[in-house]
Structure 1
Amino acid sequence: MLNDLMEKRKKTLAESEEHKNRRNELNANASKFARERNTLNNQTREFVEEAQKNKDLRDKYNQEVLDIKAQRNELNDKANVLFEDIESFKKEHGTQKNRGVKELQKQIEYMEYRQQTEVFTTDKERELIEKIKQMKGQVREQEAELEQNKEMRTKITEAREFRKQASDLHAKVTEVAELAQKHHDLMVESYRKADKSREAADAAHKSFVEAQESADSEHKFFIACQKELRDYDKVISGLRKKTKKVKVTKEQKAVRKEAESLFKNFRAGEKLTTDDILLLQRSKLI
């Protein structure tokens, strides 16, 4: 029975070691996944912060675009008022030979806008540039005629200056709008990276939870094996003590029997050796 118990204890001990090793391996994996998750979460926060910075810059530049456009429109309005006065003067004095300066200027601005924003063949673009050149020539001709009048000359100079300032602001609008678009694109890219990083962090967290749960399960099996080993140790220890006690009792009986035989011989007159006397004393017969 003792041998059977020892064999079962050996098997349980092996199972306990397997569960312990597997638990330790799973805990190590869980720690690795936790580190990956934490790194990815930090990365996600950095991407979100970067996106927010670019969003703030985009909004700032968009507001600048609105402000500059308002200034540009105000300058254009001032120029238009002056050009309307010039047109009225031309009508009153019969000097209008071609289309009005204001109308020509609008046509020029429209064609220049098309040139900047549309795609043309080389021939078509050359043709458009030539038209713009001709219209500008007509504007100069009409303005040269009007400049003979001092008052009109002053208004034309002011109107040109307003147009120039408005044109400069329009260039500024384009520049700032491009900055706003740049930061918008950077914001979108940062949010895209944040989403990707967040997905990876969620996957790492899922792996962490699975590894941790498996480690906990292996730990429970390990604890159960440890309890079983303690139970085996108690039973085996008890059996060993009992076996030892039985052995001692048998030895004591054998010694007693031998001592009684020696004592009988002693009483019959036989001589005793020193060892015989010690044996009789240990058996408490003398």
Structure 2
Amino acid sequence: MTEVAESSPESIEFLRAKLRELKIQSRDELDALRHDRDQMREYKQIRDDHNKEVKSLIESVKAEREERDRINQEITEAKERRKAIHAQLASIYDEIRELRSNLVGSPSTDQRRMMRRVEELEWKQQTEQLSRDEEYSIVEEIARIEAQLVKIGQEKEKQDRISEARRLARKLKEEASEVHEKVLSLSEQSQIHHQEVVRIRPQLEEYKKSADTAHKNFVEWLKKVKEGEARLKEQRTQIEDIQTKLRKQTVEKRDEERDEQRQHQKAQERERVESAVEKLQSGKRLTFDEFILAQRTVTDDKKRSKKKAHDAEKVEEAAASTTEAKATPDFEPDDELESILDESESKPDTEPSSDNETEQQQ
């Protein structure tokens, strides 16, 4: 059997053994609690760090998407502008064809040949991607043929309108080419930002998964910490209860010892008094202290006896009379003490010792 089981409950030995056992358990529980708290803090730190990374990556993805969307909006606007330019070019070429078809007179074979050549060049200009040199060569050839046609057909005004329309068409084609280059450049930039979003997303998912796992572990260790704190609190409560009981029993034991000591002192005092009175009554030799003690004791006894007699007399008077009367008892000399003192004075061998006489004279 253990030390605790062998002792009776609530005894000091039992309480002390239980206190030692609880303190050992409390220290072990505290060590385990510290370990659990360290684990909890570690997972909390991992969770917080990875959540910061997740937040940072989310901000990066957001910024990349916003930039990509802004560029895509510019691409959309550029495409709309390019589409509008192409529509305007088609309208201008329709106007040129209409003006040329309204030339007055029956053109000669050369005129028809030149007009077909102009149409071929214009068609090539509309449908093919030409270099600047090729474009310039076609424009010059068309201008040369049209100059000849103007001379031939005497349609200078119409030819001027046609020439003006062609100049506007060339300007619009240059603008359309610039817009097209802008679309290509913006598309490349948009793709770069899109690829950055694609690159960040796996990292974001990895950090998020790690943060979720760390949080799950943190919650598990937090539960262990709370359970350990509850057990430790219960153990400390039991320790405080036992310490309170031990203090109470210690105080009670000390009070009992003091009471026993006081009772012992009183018993010794009574023995001294009884011995002194006995010596006084029997005429034996007394020390000065014994003489004073015996005299005081006999006097106190007489006073208590007189008081009891006086109280009894007052009770009898109160019962016999309806009026209030104050009785003043006569003083009765202590005959017994006087006889004892006279007897002690008549016997030399019962007088106080010489040492006590010296003390009395002093």
Displacement of 1:103: 4.7
Give 2:77's match in structure 1, choosing from 63, 67, 84. Answer: 67
1:1-286 matches, within 5 Å, as 1-20=11-30, 22-23=32-33, 26-27=36-37, 30=40, 33-34=43-44, 37-38=47-48, 40-81=50-91, 93-95=112-114, 96=116, 101-103=122-124, 106-108=127-129, 143-148=139-144, 149-150=146-147, 151=159, 154-252=164-262, 254-255=264-265, 266=276, 267-268=278-279, 269=284, 271=286
Change (3 A) 1:22 1:273: farther
Aligned counterparts of 2:275 and 2:250: Cα–Cα separation in 1:
38
Aligned counterparts of 2:82 and 2:194: Cα–Cα separation in 1:
24
Aligned counterparts of 1:210 and 1:39: Cα–Cα separation in 2:
19
Q: Which amino acid aligns with 2:254?
A: K
Displacement of 1:84: 6.5
User: Any unmatched runs of 5+ in structure 1?
Assistant: 110-131
Aligned counterparts of 2:249 and 2:285: Cα–Cα separation in 1:
43
Aligned counterparts of 2:235 and 2:258: Cα–Cα separation in 1:
34
Change (3 A) 1:263 1:169: same
RMSD: 4.4
Higher relative contact order (CA 8 A, sep 6+): 1
Q: Which amino acid aligns with 1:175?
A: S
User: Any unmatched runs of 5+ in structure 2?
Assistant: 1-10, 102-108, 148-158, 302-362
Q: Deviations over 1:139-191 (max 9, x none)?
A: 76665443221436555544333222211111111112222223333444455
Alignment length, in residue pairs? 255
Change (3 A) 1:270 1:103: farther
Displacement of 1:105: 5.7
Change (3 A) 1:93 1:235: same
Structure of larger gyration radius = 2
Q: Which amino acid aligns with 1:102?
A: W
Aligned counterparts of 1:262 and 1:81: Cα–Cα separation in 2:
147
Q: Percent identity?
A: 15
